[in-house]
Structure 1
Amino acid sequence: MRGPTKTSRLVATLLLGAALALGGCSEQLGSAPAPSPTRIAFVPKVRGIPYFEAMNTGGLEAAKQLGVEWTTTGPTSVDPAAQVRILRDLITKKVDVIVVAPNDPVALAPVIADARAKGIHVLTSDTDAPGTQREVFVNQATAQGIGTAVIDALMAKTGGAGKYAIVSCGPAAANLNTWISVQKEYAAERYPKAQLVETVFAGEDQNTATSLAKELMARHPDLTGLVGECTTSAPGVAKAVRDEQKIGQVFTVGVGTPQAIKPFLLDGSCSQSVLWNVESLGYLTAWTAKQVADGKPLSPVNKVSLELPAVKYDATSKTVLLGDPLLITADNVDQFKY
């Protein structure tokens, strides 16, 4: 048998070299690192309360489905300086997107501008920071919708008359102050026999809200209504009415998370909670943050998920709107697990 010719040996050598070269290319291509997921950092008003825990749950669910990284870092109190420090730390860490629910929009304006100057996207959610360089506001419901629903719920119990007071949270919270403005204007027009006697601020602390509500009832013995303007003051004012044994005399409504407000709905110390699906707000927040990070324009109507098939976007105000408020009562409270 004749051995391999010089030509056949040369061909074999070339083929072997080509195979090795291709193999080397494959190894180099295979070892290239995968692109890092978009890093979204959410900064709530305060950490550890059920409302923002529910938002975080929705954000984590969206992150899992969208392939992004979602983290939450909140201050222990509603001190605006604490939020500023957190944002500065996130700028140092070079996250891709910061989403903040501002305690004080004015205090955050400089650090938001600093983040934008360094190429970090900044959104607001739950609470807006008008007049800053935030790119999009993810709004839970319109101020008009929330404000009118709260007053209608209270007036349905007081007969459209009587004295009432508001226990809000942070005095500089833009969303709460806007709701209060709507409530004042709407009540004056729709329920002229009702009188708002005081507005006080509990700073996102339920025990403080309870104490303030008791003081209001002592100062105004003929008080017939209390509004808990946020998710800590809503159960706080209801507890005050329960503690003072004034169920059926002083009616409360508020913006309370379902499971926190449930005991008070069941015993009648709270008549109704006006809210929205908080987990859906978290989901929408993460989705919007990814759209902005990817440079994808928002449409007037957006299909976000099966649960959020038609989310509206207003280009003029740069606002994404979750939808209409939910009315939570003793009858439907168990539909919501947060």
Structure 2
Amino acid sequence: MRGPTKTLVVAAALVLGAAAGLTGCDGKEAAGVPAKPIRIAFVPKVAGIPYFEAMNTGGNAAAKQLGVEWTSTGPATVDPAAQASIVRGLVDQRVDVIAIAPNDPKAMAPVISEARTKGVRVITSDTDAPGSDRELFVNQATPDGIGRALTDALMKKMGGAGKYAIVSCGETAENLNAWIAVQRSYTSIRYPRAQLVETVYAGEDKGNATALAKGLMTKYPDLTGLVGECTTSAPGVAEAVRSQQKIGNVFTVGVGTPQVIKPYLLDGSASLSVLWNVESLGYLTAWAGKQVAEGKQLGPTNKVNLELPAIKYDEATKTVLLGDPLLITRENVDQFKY
């Protein structure tokens, strides 16, 4: 037989060259074409509030250092349906990882399953969705640690006795409800002369929290304590005490971001804020998203960066833990710029 013609040899070479040019679909760089960075999309409970803006700052800082893309898109109000719609839109965009702080964990669970079915990795951060198909939860602090810290701080001001109430945010927020459960049980055991009389829900609305706190002080004239369970209700309850001229008579503590709660700490309408480094939580969320996207197995202790050298991971619950809560006072509030 005759050998291949010159034309066939050239054609074969072109085909082989084209095939070689297609390599890189495994995530490695093709010839002269850099691999696309991992895309991580954060979906907070609500857009535009200082807490989630601080998380976004941390996520953006991590993205620059880790070589990933980070975006943040949240609903205008604490609306589970709107949040679910955002997640579905991100799935359609084929992002690599979605990190969600669910407003309603039960409502979000089927949406998470849809995302996973379509090949999008899903983690939760700040708030969990237990029982869902999420792959990992980035937790700021344990419910026990936060609930006890809030209770101890308030009881210190109330002398370990008296009536107090809680102004929370979303009724279905998993993290807030877990903290409240700890506060209720811890109060009954540790402070038997104190009583949690009522818990109300303001959404993520400071003005509504202020109005509800005023209503509680009217309903319970002997109320001496208020807890703002989230970063909008913490300044809200302090504002109510300030406007009703009850500073020194009704004490407030809460989960408030430093620079928002600062004026209330300075005039005494707020006694203390229990929080954590929110920017670090955002950074850890981006880092965890990258590990999940790359299929990396976390160890019991993980070095994230110099500021987060020993992050714990619990395999049983697939939970990454930022650490212990911080106690923010008028003395140390300016250490935090958000």
Q: TM-score scaled by structure 1?
A: 0.91
Aligned to 1:9: none
Give the distance between the partners of 1:58 and 1:195, measured in 2 at CA: 38
Give the distance between the partners of 1:226 and 1:140, measured in 2 at CA: 23
Aligned to 1:4: none
Give the distance between the partners of 1:32 and 1:83, measured in 2 at CA: 39
Aligned to 2:238: 238
Matched AA of 1:289: G
Aligned to 2:103: 103
Residue aligned with 2:137, SS? strand
Give the distance between the partners of 2:105 and 2:221, measured in 1 at CA: 36
1:33: how far off?
A: 1.8
> Number of residue pairs matched?
315
Aligned to 1:192: 192
Residue aligned with 1:98, SS? strand
Give the distance between the partners of 2:143 and 2:296, measured in 1 at CA: 27
Task: List aligned pairs for 1:197-208, cutoff 5 A.
Answer: 197-208=197-208
Q: 1:209 to 1:300 in 2, by over 3 A?
A: same
Give the distance between the partners of 1:153 and 1:108, measured in 2 at CA: 33
1:32: how far off?
A: 3.6
Aligned to 1:332: 332
Unaligned runs of 5+ residues in structure 1 are 1-20
Give the distance between the partners of 1:162 and 1:224, measured in 2 at CA: 6
1:30: how far off?
A: 8.0
Aligned to 1:60: 60
1:31: how far off?
A: 5.3
Please state if 1:33 is matched with 2:43.
no
Give a deviation string over 1:5-59, Cα, whole Å, max 9, x none. xxxxxxxxxxxxxxxx9xx99xx79854211000000000000000000000000
1:148: how far off?
A: 0.1
Residue aligned with 1:296, SS? coil
Please state if 1:175 is matched with 2:166.
no
Residue aligned with 2:157, SS? helix
Give the distance between the partners of 1:30 and 1:71, measured in 2 at CA: 26
Aligned to 1:227: 227
Aligned to 1:266: 266
Give the distance between the partners of 1:272 and 1:106, measured in 2 at CA: 32
1:119: how far off?
A: 1.0
Aligned to 2:24: none
Matched AA of 1:136: L
Give a deviation string over 1:171-219, Cα, whole Å, max 9, x none. 0000000000000000000000001111000001000000000000011
Q: Give 4+ residue runs of structure 1 displaced > 2 Å after superposition.
A: 28-32
Residue aligned with 1:146, SS? helix
Aligned to 2:149: 149
Backbone CA RMSD of aligned residues: 1.5
Please state if 1:127 is matched with 2:114.
no
1:141: how far off?
A: 0.2
Give the distance between the partners of 1:30 and 1:256, measured in 2 at CA: 48
Aligned to 2:43: 43
Give the distance between the partners of 1:117 and 1:225, measured in 2 at CA: 47
Give the distance between the partners of 2:192 and 2:94, measured in 1 at CA: 53
Give the distance between the partners of 1:319 and 1:83, measured in 2 at CA: 22
Residue aligned with 2:227, SS? strand
Matched AA of 2:126: D
1:89: how far off?
A: 0.2
Give the distance between the partners of 2:197 and 2:284, measured in 1 at CA: 37
Give the distance between the partners of 1:82 and 1:240, measured in 2 at CA: 30
Give the distance between the partners of 2:109 and 2:301, measured in 1 at CA: 29
Aligned to 1:166: 166
Matched AA of 2:249: Q
Give the distance between the partners of 2:184 and 2:281, measured in 1 at CA: 26
Give the distance between the partners of 1:33 and 1:94, measured in 2 at CA: 20
Q: TM-score scaled by structure 2?
A: 0.91
Matched AA of 2:167: V
1:122: how far off?
A: 0.2
Q: Percent identity?
A: 72
Give the distance between the partners of 2:119 and 2:187, measured in 1 at CA: 44
Residue aligned with 2:36, SS? coil
